[in-house]
A and B are shown apart, each in its own frame.
Chain A
Amino acid sequence: MLRVCLRGVKATAQKSSGRIRLTNVQQCREYTTGESSSASRVVAAGLLTVTGGIGGTIIYAKWDHKFRAAVEKNVPYSEWLLGLALGPVSQDSGLPIRKPMESIQPPSMLEKQMRTSKAKSEKKLKETTEHGAQDSGPASPQPAQNIQEASAEATQIISAISEVQSIPAPCDTEPTAAAGDCKECSDPNIALETATVFQDTKSAGTAEPLRERSAEEVAARLAQQNQDEKDIITSLSAQLDDSLASSAKATLQAIGAQEAALQAITQHTHKLKEAMEAEGPSEEKSTQWKDLEAALADRTTSVNDAKTALVKANEALDSLKSVIDKSKGLKITAARPLILAAEENLHKMVVDLDKVVSKVQSAESEAKIVAQYTELVHEAKQQFQREVSSLTPEIQANWKGLTGKLSTDDLNALIAHAHRRIDQLNRELAEQRVQEQIHMEAALEQQRAEDQRALDKAVGTAKQHVKEEARLEQERKLAELREVIEAEMRTQLRRQAAAHTDHVRDVLKVQEQELRAEAEQELSSKLLAQETRYRQLTQEQLDDFTLDMNAAYARLKGVEEAIDSHVEAEEEARKAHRLWLSVEALTYTLKTASTESPSMPLEDAAEAVRASCVENDFALALASALPEESLKRGVYSEASLRARFNSLRSLARRVALIDESHNTLYQYFLSYVQAALLFEKQQEVPPTQLRSEDLDPFKLLSYASYCLEHGDLELAAKLVNQLRGEARRVVEDWLIEARLTLETRQVISLLSAYANAVGLGTTQAP
């Protein structure tokens, strides 16, 4: 089955066709499913359940968010899967950032109830929280219901800032003006404090335990506030001054214009009156009339000017008023006197302006009356003139100058006319007298109405003025009171500060004492330590010095000894050298031995050696240990001994059998035969330990020969010494000689070694 599958797979791999492969695999699977169908069925069922479960979970999670959250929490990697299937979790819960903003609202609402829009307050408060500046301080008018709570807040805040047990200021119980004062003076702080507090604590109560800021922060903030206030005040004052100046100028101008107008009007009326009443000649009249016209022109111009000036002044005053209102809107305590002054100025200017305007108006009314009168008179005159001219057409105007030129008819006509006129006028007069009352009443009514109007206006303006004055007075009083309260608060604070400083001073004094005591103690201990250390150091120094001195002395001594010993050593060395030289000479004498003859007698050399080592017992002993024979006769060299041995060897071989008991001639014969017949090695290495069979003379001789050949005379002598009997007798001489040589050599080598040692000992290596 498997083979079939494999074959199929191979075929497909060769052909590289997916479908065929699939079919082949399927064929394979078909082949295999028959046997494992149940297992595959189980597997398929399991897979199905699993996928069904997952799908169901996903669908339910999409529907129910809580379930989704639970699943995500409990099952790892489920959030990845669910995110993949459903997308990220939707934002049901609000942003946590909004909460402090919302919670800040309630207390700010207390202060900002008079505010127009909540959004504005929110914005303002956001500005506050962002910039922490005072500009956003609420500039509301002072509602009474805020004051108490705000004053309580103020007390708390002041206590929080100053860390002093705060006594609620007496102004708290008088809510009207003073608390307003407190509130106002701490108002900017309230906004900031509450804002920061609610940023921190996230609660909506007004009377919250406030978090104290550090003194530097507070001071910085206060300084900042002061700075801002100052800036604003300077700008404000500049503004006020500007507007005041401009309005003053405008007002003065207006007043001047009005005065000028007044003057012009009075002038005009005066002139008019004069012109009316004067009876001068016509030229004068004409000049008068010209003057009058000029005056009229003046008056009109001046009145116009006055009007424009008044308008300008009003504008200026309005601007000043707006500026004042704006500055009032800022609600800064320090600026209040400025505002007050500006308001007073404004009021005064307004009053002056009104006065002048009223004066001008009265003058104008007078002028109107006079003008009316003049008109009437003029009209009458015109009429009269007309009448006169109608009567006497020849006579021209200015009839006053024509008294001499008039004829009687004319005069009569004139008189008649005059009489008629008089009658007419009398009738009119009677009529007038009759209607006098009515006219009078009407006029009175008119006048009353006018008076009423004027009165009302005057009363209105006066009321306004009075109100204004009263308000200003009130403001002034407020300012004074505020100052007084301020001063009192300052004194209280100063008192508290004084108490605090006293307390602090006491504490500081105590602390100072403590610290001083501590410091003194420490100082004394340190001093003691230092002293001991100093003493220790000096002692150490002394010790060191003594040690050094001793060491130096010892070294000096050592040096001296060394020098002496050196001298001695030199001496020794010389002696050793001499000894050595003598020993060398002695050694050399050994070499003088030739092959046959012995060396020179060692007498002299030995004598020299003896001479050169007089004090040296060892060397002396050694030197005297030299054998007499060597001294007298000298020693044979090893070569000679070797040569002799060779000859001796054969002899010893020949008499090998002969000893004390065997020494007949027959033995001799036998030993000769043995020597002739026995062959041994010429040289044989001697063993380290001689056994009994090694004591055979032949062996011994071969050993000895070997030894001699290898230069070991001593061993050879030792071996030869083992010979017994006749052989021994035969080699006795040789042995003696060998012994002698050995002895001498030993002594000399000893001496030489000793001389070398001494020389080495005395020689100083470089």
Chain B
Amino acid sequence: MADELGRKWDRCLADTALKTVTGVGIGIVFSVLFFKRRTWPVSFGSGLGLGMGYSNCQHDFRSPYLIHGRVVKEQS
């Protein structure tokens, strides 16, 4: 269980890096393609990527504490 955190961090970082790079790439792409080589899609994309990665990471870290609930229709 102690490794899990490490693994999680690994995943998290990797994922974040990937997403950031992917976001950067997509940003570049979009910046190149659609937004006349402006930098804002790159930062947007990196941010998007980072954010996603961060969120993922957080979610991953939070996952043990998340309580999954279902709405159970009341049988009257």
Contacts and interface: CB of A to CB of B under 8 A. Distances in A.
A and B: real partners?
yes
Interface of A: 644, 647-648, 651, 655, 658-660, 663-665, 668, 726, 729-734
B5 A665 contact: no
Contact of A651 (B2, B62, B64, B65): B2
B65 A730 contact: no
A663 B5 contact: no
B30 interface: no
Contact of B64 (A648, A668, A729, A734): A729
Given A660-B65, A665-B58, A733-B1, 13 more contacts: A647-B2, A648-B2, A655-B5, A658-B61, A663-B58, A663-B62, A664-B58, A668-B61, A729-B1, A730-B4, A730-B5, A731-B2, A732-B1
A668 B61 CA distance: 9
A443 to B, nearest CB: 210
B5 to A, nearest CB: 6
Nearest to B62: A663
B65 A733 contact: no
A533 to B, nearest CB: 95
Q: Which 6 A-B pairs have the closest CB atoms?
A: A733-B1, A660-B65, A663-B62, A732-B1, A665-B58, A648-B2
A730 B57 contact: no
25 contacts: A648-B2, A651-B2, A651-B5, A655-B5, A660-B65, A663-B58, A663-B65, A664-B58, A665-B57, A665-B58, A665-B61, A668-B61, A726-B5, A729-B1, A729-B64, A730-B1, A730-B2, A730-B4, A730-B5, A731-B1, A731-B2, A732-B1, A733-B1, A733-B2, A734-B2
B59 to A, nearest CB: 10
A668 B62 CA distance: 11
Contacts of B64: 729
A649 to B, nearest CB: 10
B70 to A, nearest CB: 20
A726 B54 CA distance: 18
Contacts of A648: 2
Contacts of A659: 65
A660 to B, nearest CB: 5
Nearest to B55: A665
Query: Is the contact region of chain B dominated by helix, strand, or loop, or is it mixed?
Result: helix
Contacts of A731: 1-2
Interface string B25-60: 000000000000000000000000000001001100
A711 B64 CA distance: 32
A730 B64 CA distance: 11
Nearest to B63: A663
Given A660-B65, A729-B64, A665 B1 contact: no
Contacts of A658: 61
Nearest to A652: B2
Most buried by A among B1, B57, B65: B1
A315 to B, nearest CB: 173
A655 B65 CA distance: 14
Nearest to B12: A665
A405 B54 CA distance: 252
A651 B57 CA distance: 18
Contacts of A663: 58, 61-62, 65
A733 B5 CA distance: 12
Interface in B1-22: 1-2, 4-5
A647 B5 CA distance: 13
Contacts of A729: 1, 64
A592 to B, nearest CB: 24
Contacts of A665: 54, 57-58, 61
A649 B5 CA distance: 13
A658 B64 CA distance: 12
A741 to B, nearest CB: 16
A76 B58 CA distance: 133
B17 to A, nearest CB: 15
Contacts of B54: 665
Contacts of B5: 651, 655, 726, 730
A734 B1 contact: yes
Nearest to A736: B1
Nearest to A644: B2
A665 B5 CA distance: 13
Contacts of A651: 2, 5
A655 B9 CA distance: 12
A734 B5 CA distance: 14
B26 to A, nearest CB: 23
A670 to B, nearest CB: 13
A697 to B, nearest CB: 15
Contacts of B62: 663-664
Contacts of B57: 665
Contacts of A668: 61
Nearest to B61: A663
A665 B59 CA distance: 9
A751 to B, nearest CB: 30
A315 B5 CA distance: 180
A658 B1 CA distance: 15
Contacts of A664: 58, 62
Nearest to B64: A729
A142 B74 CA distance: 174
Nearest to B16: A665
Contacts of B61: 658, 663, 665, 668
A386 B1 CA distance: 224
B27 to A, nearest CB: 22
B33 to A, nearest CB: 32
A292 B1 CA distance: 203
Contacts of A732: 1
Interface string B63-75: 0110000000000
A658 B5 CA distance: 12
A659 B65 CA distance: 8
A197 to B, nearest CB: 140
Nearest to A649: B2
A203 to B, nearest CB: 142
A465 B65 CA distance: 187
Nearest to A735: B1
B25 to A, nearest CB: 23
A734 B3 CA distance: 11
A651 B4 CA distance: 11
A664 B4 CA distance: 17
A503 B63 CA distance: 144
Nearest to B67: A660
B55 to A, nearest CB: 9
A668 B8 CA distance: 12
A736 B47 CA distance: 41
Nearest to A668: B61
Most buried by B among A648, A660, A665, A732: A665
A731 B62 CA distance: 17
A708 B58 CA distance: 33
A331 B64 CA distance: 163
Contacts of B4: 730
A732 to B, nearest CB: 5
Nearest to B58: A665
Nearest to B54: A665
A668 B54 CA distance: 12
A659 B62 CA distance: 9
A575 B25 CA distance: 77
